[in-house]
Amino acid sequence: MLIDVHNHFYPPEYLDALKAGDSAVKLTIDAEGNPCLHYPGDYNVAVRGHRDIEYRQGVLEQEGVDTQIITFTTPGTHVEPTDRAVRFARLVNDAFATVVRERSPRFSSLATLPLCDPAASVAELTRAVTQLGMPGAMLFSNVNGVALADPRFEPLYAEANRLGAILHIHPTDPVGVEAMTDYWLMPLVGFLMDTTLAAAKLVFAGVPERYPNIKWVLSHLGGAIPYLAERLDRGWEAFPDCRADIQRRPSEYLRQFYYDTVNFDPKAVRLAVDFAGADRVLAASDYPHQIGSIPKMKSSLAALGVSDAERTKILGENARQLYKL
């Protein structure tokens, strides 16, 4: 069983709205006719796999992927004015629900939320889980520069905790993006920095401690979390501020997070396994982004130095249980 928990889809209805000019997102068309969605330091080329679900299903069948957990992606709905953000989030989630209803078990999905409006995000998470049957939502690592640990998101975490929801943190352009606009440094470095920062701040702020029923998933092996966790623990020991809101070392909370394998170096994946355990690592491809790859996902996990039982968990069993497939 192979389940891919990190990949992206733009519903055609959403792209049609952008083409109509009903968005703050800059949209261009490349020489091959693909829509390009621009945001600071990066742009996504919406190739056929991003927007044609029937074509995409054929790719999965050819590659032997049993299920993809489809998610929305950057630049997200939170970059829009509030009313439009709410409308776009509902449009995307309704489209995802239709895909899952018509094509399950090949596809499941997480909701997207209008994060610029925390109250509307609570309502949309509730609708997505209780009416659309989704197991949770994808959050961006910051919301127009506001940290996920900001108190304005406390009601969202309270509702996610009540629902026992998955919250998968995916990076977006970080504060300071102006230093990362050449050489694709924003997605290559900035993304990983922002995921690391978001996870560390959430833990130090006590969010996972207050809301233990949330299932947190971090993109791209958690950025640098497995590599830096010991340093976070030393901060907890050294600085009173780091102990103000949590009772245990940061690594104890971070080992309860899940880590997706969008890092195709088996040694890096092995570090995440050593840090959090094989039970907390989830196969992922980042398909169909330019930097994503289903074949590289498969080859890196085939080369991973773990037992057959652990590999089975990472390839799909962990996700099957977590997403209730």
Smallest CA-to-CA distance from 243 within 297, 199, 206 is with: 206
The reported pLDDT for the residue numbered 21 is 87
* Cis ω for the linkage preceding 11 (within 30 of 0): no
The reported pLDDT for the residue numbered 22 is 80
The reported pLDDT for the residue numbered 18 is 93
What does DSSP say about strands 215-218 and 166-170: parallel, antiparallel, or unpaired? parallel
pLDDT digits (tens, 9 = 90+) for 131-174: 999 999 999 999 999 999 999 999 999 999 999 999 999 999 99
Q: Could you tell me if 113 and 82 are in contact, meaning their C-beta atoms sit under 8 angstroms apart?
A: no
pLDDT < 70 regions, the chain: none
The reported pLDDT for the residue numbered 44 is 93
- Rounded-to-integer distance, Cα 317 and Cα 325, Å: 10
- Rounded-to-integer distance, Cα 77 and Cα 175, Å: 18
Query: What residue segments make up the domains of the chain, in order of their start?
Result: 3-322
- Rounded-to-integer distance, Cα 7 and Cα 261, Å: 11
Pick the CATH number of 3-322 from 3.90.950.20, 3.20.20.140, 3.40.50.1370, 3.40.50.970: 3.20.20.140
The reported pLDDT for the residue numbered 284 is 98
To which residue do tokens 């330019």 refer? 290
- Which ranges of the chain does DSSP label H, i.e. alpha helix? 12-19, 48-51, 53-63, 82-103, 118-130, 154-163, 185, 191-204, 207-210, 225-238, 250-254, 266-276, 294-302, 308-312, 318-322
Structure token pair of residue 75:
């630049």
